[in-house]
Structure 1
Amino acid sequence: MPAGLLPVMAHDLGVDEGIIGQFISVWALGTVVVTVPAITYTQGFRRKPLLLGALAGLVLANAVTAVSSDVVISLVSRFVGGAFTGILWGMLAAYGRRISPANRGGLALAVVATGAPVGFALGTPLGSFVGGVFDWRWSFAGLSALGIVLVGVVAVVVPGLPGQLSTHRQPLRRVFLLPGIPIVLLVIFVWMVGHNTIYTYIAPFLRDSGSGLTPDLVLLVYGVASIGGVIVTALVIDHHPRLLLQASIAAFIIAAAVLVAEHASPVAVLLAAGLWGLAFGGASPQLQSALSIAGGAQSDLANAFLPVAFNLAIFAAGVVGAVLLGLSGGLILGVFMGVLGAIAFVLTVVGRTTFSARG
């Protein structure tokens, strides 16, 4: 949400945009610090009460952000919200696979992961619009209201599942070192840094590009296209996982090149945003699937590493993006996006056996 509200939040709270960028970084830090210990501790908990508790915590954190006028309190609320989000991300992949047919695990993850690009397609630009027309606080209040509705729906609709038996659990370090898991986590981190640096600071990038486009429009195009990325992923992931991942990263690199080379053209920037969304929309299910397959019976704990890697990257992107903006302005973010995408692509070649596995 802060990515689309940087200017208005900064103005209202009397701070610069780099500080508001840290709203995203501390959210990520909360996820990094809490996820693995929380998922480790709660392996034996029944899944549905854990899901409901994490959602309730997220509702409360967003409500505090909506009413707070103190930057420190707001940052603390983002940290807490990130912590509860980490618990959600750490359990949802395995939850989705366990209530689905065994031979359609990749498709199940794609369905579960559809929420993220729909959120990007609707939530971020809608939040930006509401914040621009009314007040940014209404955006976060709306998230809390939707969260309350979601808690009710989950309570009625979602099936319950038992936790993992203690006899089936392995030590955290052993799970982390299972073959394939480190290389998947490295791809997640590198690709996410490349993505989130420019996503977080899209407003300064567009301001310096000379295209005249607004963040809400660009993020809307990105979000709608990312739904297409999930659809493509759902169709292909159970058959050609490595080819799909490499094609996605290649499209991501091309989008970065267009953003840099044609930054002043509104049409080119919107086309690049669409390609960017198409490329990155399926990233989560693609990487979660690889992580789940590598984790095997320990997929719950293996997937706890995913939000940690994602959010370490988000934290790093918030800090690195602020530094890059201070040194070179917004356009350098497109270059950084392309370079990190290229590194991620090389890593998929190095770990080709891992990314070829099917679940």
Structure 2
Amino acid sequence: MTDILTTPPAAAVAAPSNRLPIKALLGLFLAGFISILTECLPAGLLPEMSRTLGTSVSLTGQTVTLYALATALGAIPLARATATWQRKHVLQLALAVVAVMNVLTALSSDYTLTMVLRFVAGLGTGLIWPLLGGYAARLAPEGRQGRAIAIALAGTPIGLALGIPLGTLLSSVGGWELAFYAAAAVTALSMAWVLVAVPNLPGRPVESRFTISQVLVIPGLRPILFALTTYMVAHNLLYTYITDLLAQVGMGSQTGWVLFTFGVTSVLSVLVVGAHIDRHLRRLTVSSTVVFGAAALVLGAVSGVPALVYVAVAAWGFAFGSSPSLFIGAVINATREAADVAQSITITVFSGSIAVGSFLGGLLIAGLGTASLTWAALALLIASAATVIGGRKHTFPPNG
């Protein structure tokens, strides 16, 4: 992935030395971690939450759907509305919203109120995600913006990898409410870190050279967004309802260990892929879609064998862990000067895919049963892999 970020804003506030500002980037990493943790935390808590809220598991799963929908709807307008604000002020405001909503969610026993709180929290995340890439690039020295962005975005897969299993563990100790209180506490600690370690960069007027319609016709972007959509919908079909999938094959008591396996291999993926992404973006993305598809096939065909479930989940985690960096890297390469606008669109698509996956999963469980999730995910991953493999000219070029 050569020239991962060549847009002028990336170098506008270059660091004074050639060293990456690790402490500042860690603050952005934590913001991304909190965002995805809060979004998907109910995935490991659905049975307990549904009992408290007096709803079915599929309806409780819509707490993930609505959160992601709010993020998708809010990403572009909120980014534009706060474009001239000091960057750290925006980040701190968004984190404060997420922290307060997590506390109130833990206190709520009413389904409608919980859904409202999740929507507002999703708007907070809608402020965070479009901010991270550009903030990281402006903090980095010239020529190292790509690695800085990768560090900032690593909070997303690691939030999925470690945060949700830990939340599940906490719920087994003190109920699902404890998991949300813990998420709020981690958010507060992240705000303290950002306050101390992250420079407060000035905002900028929204870039007017490119409209959304102009960016969407850039060669290669729409196939990337399609591949990202099918990939993320497939992931959320399975991940949001992982507790149901495991209960169906008699492994409900092992949910924590299965999620831990997913987490370990996701983190391993970030480490391994991060070392090679600059030179082998296409190969890595093809491998990610194919390996994930194979894992879905195993989960659907031989899910009655616990050892194979663990192997499939491990492969799924390794495939998924680095996927945000792969797809966002492809978007940056394809759009170049319009990368800022393209990344806002990508965040909207990313969050919208989480919402669609959670919503579609609930419909599939209600209509066709839990087993249908793996086959629907496999069909989507075949479409994603075919798009990536076929995109040799603009989408995922061999030298990308």
| TM-score, with structure 2 as normaliser | 0.85
Cα distance in 2 for residues equivalent to 1:109 and 1:332: 37
Change (3 A) 1:48 1:175: farther
Query: Secondary structure of 2:202's match?
Result: coil
The count of aligned residue pairs is: 359
Give 1:157 shift.
0.6
1:131 equivalent among 150, 161, 171 = 171
Residue 355 of structure 1 corresponds to: 396
Name structure 1 gaps, 5 residues minimum. none
* Superposed displacement of residue 103, structure 1: 3.8
Distance in 2 separating the partners of 1:212 and 1:47: 43
Summarize the Cα distance change of 1:63–1:298 in structure 2 as closer, same or farther, 3 Å threshold: farther
If each structure's helix is expressed as a fraction of its own residues, which one has the higher value? 1
- Work out whether residues 293 and 358 of structure 1, in 8 Å CA contact, stay in contact via their aligned partners in 2: no
- Structure 1 partner of 2:113: 73
What is the percentage of aligned positions where both structures have the same residue? 34
For 2:158 and 2:83, locate their aligned partners in 1 and report how far apart those are by CA, in whole Å. 29
Select between 14-23 and 307-316 the one with higher mean Cα deviation. 307-316
Match of 1:214, SS state, is helix
Query: In structure 2, what is the equivalent of residue 20 of structure 1?
Result: 60
Is the deviation greater in 293-302 or in 322-331? 293-302
Q: Whole-Å Cα distance in 2 between the matches of residues 258 and 97 of structure 1?
A: 40
Task: Please show how residues 187-206 of structure 1 align to structure 2 within 5 Å.
Answer: 187-206=227-246
Q: Deviation per CA, 1:287-315, whole angstroms, max 9, x where unpaired?
A: 11122233323333221112211121111
Q: Which moved more, 1:32-41 or 1:280-289?
A: 32-41
Q: Is the 8 A contact 1:226 1:280 kept in 2?
A: yes
Alignment of 1:42-81 (within 5 A): 42-81=82-121
1:245-304 superposed Cα distances (whole Å, 9 cap, x missing partner): 101111101111111222011111111111100000001011111222333233332211
Matching residue within 134, 138, 152 for 1:94: 134
Task: Kindly indicate whether residue 342 of structure 2 is the aligned counterpart of residue 299 of structure 1.
Answer: no
> Are 1:256 and 2:302 matched, yes or no?
no
**How large is the Cα RMSD of the aligned pairs?**
1.9
Q: Distance in 2 between matches of 1:177 and 1:14?
A: 46
SS of the equivalent of 2:55 reads coil
Separation in structure 2 between the aligned mates of residue 270 and residue 167 of structure 1, nearest angstrom: 47
Separation in 1 of the partners of 2:169 and 2:121? Answer: 22
Give the C-alpha shift of residue 166 in structure 1: 5.5
Checking the alignment, whether the CA contact within 8 Å between 1:249 and 1:279 is kept in structure 2 is yes
Change (3 A) 1:38 1:176: farther
The whole-number CA distance in structure 1 between the counterparts of 2:128 and 2:229 is 19
1:83 matched to 2:123: yes
Aligned to 2:29: none
Distance 1:109 1:356, change over 3 A: farther
Where 1:356 maps in the other structure, the secondary structure is coil
CA distance in 2, matches of 1:343, 1:218: 27
**Residues 22-42 of structure 1, C-alpha deviations (whole Å, 9 max, x = no match):** 000000110111111111233
Task: Please point out which of 162, 177, 181 is paired with 1:141.
Answer: 181
- 2:303 is equivalent to residue 271 of structure 1: no
Distance 1:116 1:166 in 2: 25
- Map 1:161-176 → 2, pairs under 5 A: 161-165=201-205, 169-176=209-216
CA distance in structure 1 between the aligned counterparts of 2:272 and 2:361, rounded to whole angstroms: 30
The equivalent position to 1:316 in structure 2, one of 336, 356, 378, is: 356
**TM-score, normalization by structure 1:** 0.94
> Residues 68, 167 of structure 1: CA spacing in aligned structure 2 closer, same or farther, 3 A cutoff?
closer
Q: Using the alignment, how far apart are the partners of 2:399 and 2:80 within structure 1?
A: 26
Mapped contact 1:28–1:314 kept (Cα < 8 A):
yes
Question: How far off is 1:170 after superposition?
Answer: 2.8
| Residue pair 1:226, 1:277 contacting (<8 A) in 2 also | yes
Structure 2 letter corresponding to 1:295: T
Report the more deviating stretch, 109-118 or 281-290.
109-118
CA distance in 1, matches of 2:162, 2:121: 20
Q: Matched residue of 1:355: which SS?
A: coil
Partner of 1:237: 277
Which amino acid in structure 1 is aligned with residue 168 of structure 2? S
Rounded Cα–Cα distance in structure 2 between residues aligned with 1:45 and 1:195: 35
**Cα pair distance change 1:147/1:20, threshold 3 Å:** same
2:80–2:206 CA contact under 8 A, matched in 1: no
Please name the residue that 1:38 is paired with. 78
- Please tell me whether the aligned partners of residues 178 and 295 of structure 1 are also in contact (alpha carbons under 8 angstroms): yes
CA contact (8 A) 1:39 1:301 kept: no
Shift of 1:172: 3.0
Q: Distance in 1 between matches of 2:159 and 2:116?
A: 23
